[in-house]
Amino acid sequence: MLQENKRIKSAKYVSNFESLFACPLCKTSMKVIDFKSLICLNHHTFDFAKQGYMNLMTHSVNTKYSKGLFEARRKLITESVFYKPLSHAIAKIINEHQVNTEEIISILDAGCGEGSHLSNICDIVRSDSVESAVGVGIDISKEGIMIASKNYSNKIWAVADLANTPFKNKQFDVILNILSPSNYAEFNRLLKSDGIVIKIVPQSGYLKELREHLFYKPEKQNYSNSEKVMRFKESFQFVESSRLSYTMNLNKSSIEWLIQMTPLTWSTTEERIRSFLNKNSAQISVDLDILIGKNII
């Protein structure tokens, strides 16, 4: 009964914003029917899962991102406040760029993972300035979206392809892209004429202590984001960029969550991973570029 309620509650919430959606198969409008399914004009049907999310993928995908990785990421974000300064920085940018604060603002997190960043940012935006914000999170990983829908209600969660997003043109005030792959053609299509894209990319010091411990080779220890920044500037009307740098002291539990969530461990040895896990605490650097762009007119 609780599972049925979760599905119905989510469907009722999505029905308030069904005008956002376009069928990923035929691009026609969609409606929530019987608080059970999202159905387009050509009767392509996408059911709400018992956890409350929708799967709007048109093809199957394989991903290395596991349930354990997403659970660890959620704990690192929510319990250790590892990314709290980032959430506040993004919310501040959103509030500064919203001209009409009387309207509901629509925020799409493209590549949202398990949803914690979007949930935190929406909460801060609501409390700081605007009357209300609708948060929409999409990710190619079903495991991530399942965890998001389980933990964060009053959001729209969907398994969806960044190259074929299930939304109409010009629907979003803000598109977030946080340490995640991008599709700039889709972002330009989805962004309102006065909307903004906020992309977060690693800077040279991001997780440097972990990288130096896990890898022998300097090219693995060091990181440059210059190509990503250049591509962003080519794809949007560039507004500004800022650098966010700080250091967090992680306890043993947080170290374990960091190791579980980062793909850095995929290309190193078990010995080096175990060696880092043996630490009781560690100072870890967060070093990020925050890029802001507008639609190219």
Strand 191-202 and strand 172-178: pairing? parallel
Please state, for a pLDDT cut of 90, what percent of the chain lies above it.
80
Buried-state track 52-63, b at ≥16 Cβ within 10 A, e below 16:
bbbebbeeeeee
Digit-coded pLDDT (tens) for 234-288: 999 999 999 999 999 999 999 999 999 999 998 889 999 999 999 999 999 999 9
Mean pLDDT in the chain?
92
**In the chain, where the domains are located:** 1-51, 53-294
Q: Which residues pair with 146 in a beta bridge?
A: none
Digit-coded pLDDT (tens) for 28-39: 999 999 999 999
Hey, what amino acid is at 234? E
What is the structure's pLDDT at 226?
87
Digit-coded pLDDT (tens) for 139-191: 999 999 999 999 999 999 999 999 999 999 999 999 999 999 999 999 999 99
Q: Is 27 left (phi over 0), alpha (psi -120 to 50) or beta?
A: left
**Tokens linked to 17:** 């914003």
Is 53-294 CATH 3.40.50.150? yes
109 pLDDT higher than 60: yes
The stretch 206-216 carries a mean pLDDT of: 91
Residues 191 and 105 sit within 8 Å (Cβ to Cβ): no
What is the structure's pLDDT at 117?
97
- The closest alpha carbon to 87, from 30, 27, 57, 128, belongs to 128
Digit-coded pLDDT (tens) for 220-230: 656 678 888 99
